[in-house]
Amino acid sequence: MVVGNPNFIMPVADDIQLNQVILDPIRSEGSAINETGAEYYDDEKSEKNLMANFVESDDRFYPEGGLKAYLVVLGAFLGLIPVFGAFNMTSVIETYIQTNQLQNESTTSIGWIFSLFSFLTCFTSIFSGFVFDNYGCRHLMVTGTILYFVSFFLLGECTKIWHFILCYSIMNGFASGIMMSPLVSCSAHYFKRRRGHAISLATTGGSIGGVVLPLMLRPFFNRNEFKWGIRVVSFVSLALLIISTMLLKERFYANDKFKLSKMIDFNGLKEYNYLFCVLGVLSGEMSFNSGLTFYGSYCSYVGLSINDTTIQITIMNTLSTVGRYIPGLVSDSLGRYNCAIFCLISLTLVQYIAWLPFGKYGLNAMYAISCLYGLSSGSIYSLLPVCVGQISDTKDFGKRYSTMYFVVSFGILISSPISGAIIGDKSYFNYQMFIVFCGALSAVSAVLYYISRYASTKTWGWVVF
């Protein structure tokens, strides 16, 4: 056994076996050593230390920066441009195919395409999380990159519902799922105290993808050249994923045997803080997934053209970049749970105070709503996984992240069809009920996160956590 110290520099940091190397933790600011050699914390900084040292068993060395660490963050950022970007441009694709290839199909039937895509993306992550924890990210990224490119390239040839389900829902959903765990989790191997900042930087790639990819599709959609627009996106995604694969590198391995119990952390769900955190993500993802999928459909209902609808999605994703980065930046000092709860409450207020009463007034109103919705919803992808990481050991982060999205996947599977059924014949009343549904889910998510925070801190009052 090798015992290190807070300033220990590991000669080969890339190949650490968790069952062979144990390193002393980095003491947080404000800590000290008493006469017995035990670490204690000043009362004035106890709130900060509560968050920084919540997982006491996590006694490994973290660089907390440096060229290699930030190259990994850059790799995750580039990879999440197409992976999360595929989520963020679902509304653009849904709006186009609803008025062209699938114009004779019902809203509920079309909704199944995107719910199956989201379901398989999340469901597949349980396997990718286990593989990442035990074998690293290289094989996952190579396989996912190939499948992502092939599926998106073939998407341009689709003309029927089963075509879209096969290429987009199944193939692309599987490809995105096996890459999501390493892309989100890898940065956590290099950061602990600044983990919120690092993962927020990485996940802003999804917002950038939501801005750039719809803008790339816009001129092709205006000329009804769906096939060539999708092909261009597929080649750009291929280039980004290749670079991402080259930059990503894990630091820890768990060395668990291939068992279902090792892939899904059922025991973790017995912990109330983790259970309510997972349920909070479930409600938040159902709200955001439903809202994003049919946002373009709502824009079309209130009189916006396909061009204006694409601009609305672009604005939303542009502002969500800010909504992802700023909460992640301040979460390391104000508390990751606190920032997540605040953003979920803000999202609920935007839906009930802005979208519900003013969306019907058309283009100018939708500009404002898109800005507010993007700002308040951006944290769902950036902060929620950070909160899971805060209450999880780093070597189990991939498994716990995957377990969370295993549960979330079933909620996402039904969220879009339920939303499509609520919208039904696309009457004004039905769209209003759809907004109420999305707002209720985000409100429930905030409450569940608050309960999870209480289960971790044992206080309902203010605490940095």
Per-residue confidence (pLDDT) for residue 210, from 0 to 100 = 79
Q: How far is CA 70 from CA 76, 187, 197, 286, in A?
A: 10, 8, 11, 32
Break the chain into its structural domains and give their ranges: 67-264+271-457
For the stretch 3-47, pLDDT in tens is 333 333 333 333 333 333 333 333 333 444 444 444 444 444 444
Question: Cα separation of 439 and 458, whole Å?
Answer: 28
192 with 26: CB under 8 angstroms?
yes
Per-residue confidence (pLDDT) for residue 369, from 0 to 100 = 94
Instruction: Tell me yes or no: is domain 67-264+271-457 CATH 1.20.1250.20.
Output: yes
Per-residue confidence (pLDDT) for residue 298, from 0 to 100 = 92
For the stretch 106-136, pLDDT in tens is 877 888 888 888 888 878 877 787 787 777 7
In percent, the amount of the chain with pLDDT more than 90 equals 23
Q: Is the pLDDT of residue 55 over 70?
A: no
Query: What are the tokens at 338?
Result: 């606190």
Which residue pairs from 422-426 have beta carbons closer than 8 angstroms and sit at least 24 positions apart in sequence? 423/107, 423/294, 423/297, 424/107, 426/107, 426/297, 426/301
Question: Cα separation of 241 and 398, whole Å?
Answer: 20
330 with 464: CB under 8 angstroms?
no
> What is the pTM for the complete model shown?
0.71
Helix, coil or strand: residue 33: strand
Per-residue confidence (pLDDT) for residue 334, from 0 to 100 = 83
Q: Give the model's confidence band at 258: pLDDT under 50 very low, under 70 low, under 90 confident, else very high.
A: low
For the stretch 385-431, pLDDT in tens is 678 878 877 667 667 877 887 888 888 888 888 988 898 888 899 99
State the chain's mean pLDDT as an integer. Answer: 79
Lowest mean pLDDT among 8-22, 66-80, 173-187: 8-22
Lowest mean pLDDT among 47-56, 224-233, 358-367: 47-56
